[in-house]
Structures are given as C-alpha cells and as structure tokens.
Amino acid sequence: MNRPLMHRSHGPPPWASLPPSPAAPGSALARADEATAALLFLLAQRPPQERSAYLLGGLLSLDAQALSRLMGWTPVQCSALASRARAALLFNHPLHHPWKGSTMSQRLNYMQQSPELFKKLIEFSTLVKNSGLDEALHDLVNIRASQLNGCAFCLDMHIKQARIRGERELRLHHIAIWRESALFEPRERAALAWTEVLTRIPEQGVSDADYAAALAQFSEKELSTLTFHVMAINAWNRANVAFQTPPGVHDKAFGLDKAGLA
C-alpha cells in the first residue's frame, strides 16, 4: 500500500515533526517508518509509568511479577498500566483506522468513539485475568462464549492466544463439542457448562442443578471470579459483534501473529 497513514485531524500529523524517513517517499519502508514515528509520538504522550510498563512488558517480555519487582508497583497495577498504554495506542494509532474506501466491514470503531469506557473495560478484563484462575480455563471460557455469540473477532483472538500458550490444537477443535469429548477435565467441563448457561440464560433462569454442578468443582470465591470472567468476555463479544470488528485486525498490537495462524 502506498497510501499515507490516516489521522483524525486535518493538516500534517503531529508526528511529522520527528526526523523524516530516509526511505523513498511512498515506499513500503517509508510507510513503516511513519508508523513507527506515530507509535513513538503516542507513547511519549503516555504517563511515564504506563510507558515503562508497556515497553518493558512488551519488548523485554517481562511478566507482571517481574515488572512489579522492577517498578515497585503490585503485579495487578503493572498489568493495568500496560493495558492502559496499549488501549491508548489501539484507538489512536493510524494503522488501526479503517481505510477510506476499503473493503473492511467494520461499522464503527468503538475504541475511538468511547475511549474512557474502552479503557475501563480493558482494566476490568485485566483484573479478571489476574484473579487466580488457570489460564487454560480463561481460554476455554473466552472461546466457548465467543462461539455461542458468533463473535468472529474474539474467537480468532482467543484461539491464537491459546495456541501461543501451548494449548493442544485438537482440544481447541473439541471445545464446540466438549460434552462428547474426552479431552477435558471435570473442572474444565464445569467451567464450560457455567459459561454456556450464563451466556444463554434460560427463560427460567440458572437452575439449582446448574449451580450445584459448578459449585462441585469451584469454591464460592472461584465461582464468583469465573462469573465475572464470563461477564467480561460477553461484553467484548457484544461490542465486536455489534460493530463487526474484523478478525485479526489487531494481531500485531497484541502479539497474536506469533501464533502462526494467519
């Protein structure tokens, strides 16, 4: 593509004041340089703590515990700082704006239209992710809810995340038929059943039998946390289904290209 990067105001973009690219104007390298300049400019606008958490966590692959030891914040706070920086880049960087006249079917970019609400949902999801439940359970819940809701963007994202974390490919194929599959442990089956009943709440509500089956595998605190997790993924599903976010559009921002599933 030879088109210049888009930005939301008229006139030259704010990062135009940075040193120009030595590449030939209009070339792929020049466009890549402009995208990098935009990233550096946007990062410079973030508070220092957010910038550090985002860069150290992303470029050096430091987890929340390592960031906590380095920065002096709690692991949850470090994750929230990095998430806020990531959210700001997602709805401000020009590479995430749909091209004028493109074939993308996205109806609107809710990240840009409701940035503060988007940031809060990111923070909420980060708290849920760091709540103590096993990551494999998180993946199963995210994938199953996204299947039920028909959310192409979320299903694409969470399958890639699961593969990056080492989930077996056959188990991913079996999530849709987990009741007939022998690949899931009782605790995983209970999480999938709870996800289904809360995603598609029956007319008569959640039955005592459904509740008892979930409580047989999870403590009350764990079941409460699992419920918040189902709430979070359903929120994301509804936003992305409503506005038709194309699957894979944020792969590079989230590091999902490492899954090798493009």
pLDDT in tens, 145-170: 999 999 999 999 999 999 999 999 99
Q: Tokens 């990067």 — which residue?
A: 5
Residue 132 carries which DSSP code? S
User: In this structure, which long-range contacts are made by residues 36-44, counting pairs with CB atoms below 8 Å and at least 24 apart in sequence?
Assistant: 38/5, 38/7, 38/13, 38/93, 38/94, 38/95, 39/89, 39/93, 40/15, 41/14, 41/15, 42/88, 42/89, 42/92, 42/93, 43/85, 43/89
Angle (nearest 5°) at CA 169 between 165 and 175? 100
Chain centroid, CA 117 distance in Å: 15
Token pair recorded at residue 100: 């004028």
**Radius of gyration, alpha carbons of the chain:** 20
Q: Can you give the pLDDT at residue 29?
A: 74
Return the percentage of the chain with pLDDT > 70, whole number: 81
**Spatial CB neighbours of 221, under 8 Å, sequence gap ≥ 6:** none
Higher pLDDT, 172 or 50: 172
Helix, strand, coil shares of the chain, percent, nearest 5, are: 65, 0, 35
Residue 20's SS3 state is coil
Backbone phi, then psi, for 106, in 5-degree steps?
-60, 130
Q: Can you give the pLDDT at residue 209?
A: 95
Q: Can you give the pLDDT at residue 20?
A: 59
Q: How far is the C-alpha of 84 from the C-alpha of 126, rounded, in Å?
A: 10
Record the pTM: 0.63
Q: Domains of the chain (ranges plus CATH)?
A: 14-129 (no CATH), 135-259 (1.20.1290.10)
Residue 84 · residue 111 · CB < 8 Å: no
- Relative orientation angle of helices 48-59 and 28-44, to the nearest 10 degrees: 130
Position 99 confidence tier, pLDDT thresholds 50, 70, 90: very low
Higher pLDDT, 111 or 148: 148
